[in-house]
Amino acid sequence: MASRISLKPSSGNNKGANGAAERSTVQVLKEWSAWSLEKSKVIAHYGFIPLIIVIGMNSEPKPQLYQLLSPI
C-alpha cells in the first residue's frame, strides 16, 4: 500500500488504464453512453408516434392521407 499514498484520482475511478490526470476509456465510454441514452430518449419521445403512423400508412390495404384527419 506504500506506493498508493500519493495522488488519489479525483474522479474516484481507479479502473482506467491511464492515471488520474487523463480521462480513462471507461469514463469516456460512460459519458458517451449517457449522452446516447439522452439522445435516444428524445428521439423516442418525438419519433414514436410518427413511426407508428408511417408504418400504419404503409401497411396493406393502404389508407388514404385524408383519412388521417377526417372523423369518418
Partner 1 sequence: MAGFPPPGATILGDAAAGKKIDEVGKKKVDYFNLPCPIPFEELQREAIMSLKPELFEGMRFDFTKGLNPKFSLSHSVFMGPMELPSQGAETLKIPTAHYEFGANFIDPKLMLIGRVLTDGRLTARVKCDLTDDLSLKANAQLSNEPNMSHGMVNFDYKGKDYRTQLQLGDGSLFGASYIQSITPHLSMGGEVFWAGQHLKSGVGYAARYENDKMVATGQVASTGMVAMSYVQKVSEKVSLATDFMYNYLSRDVTASVGYDYILRQARLRGKLDSNGCASAFLEERLNMGLNFVLSAEIDHKKSDYKFGFGLTVG
Applying CB under 8 A, does 48 fall inside the site for partner 1?
yes
Contact (CB, 8 A) for 53 and 47? no
Q: How far is the CB of 70 from partner 1 (least distance, A)?
A: 9
SS3 track for 7-50 = CCCCCCCCCCCCCCCCCCHHHHHHHHHHHHHHHHHHHHHHHHHH
Q: Whose Cβ is closer to partner 1: residue 28's or residue 52's?
A: 52
Site string for partner 1, 4-43 (x = CB under 8 A): -------------------------------------x--
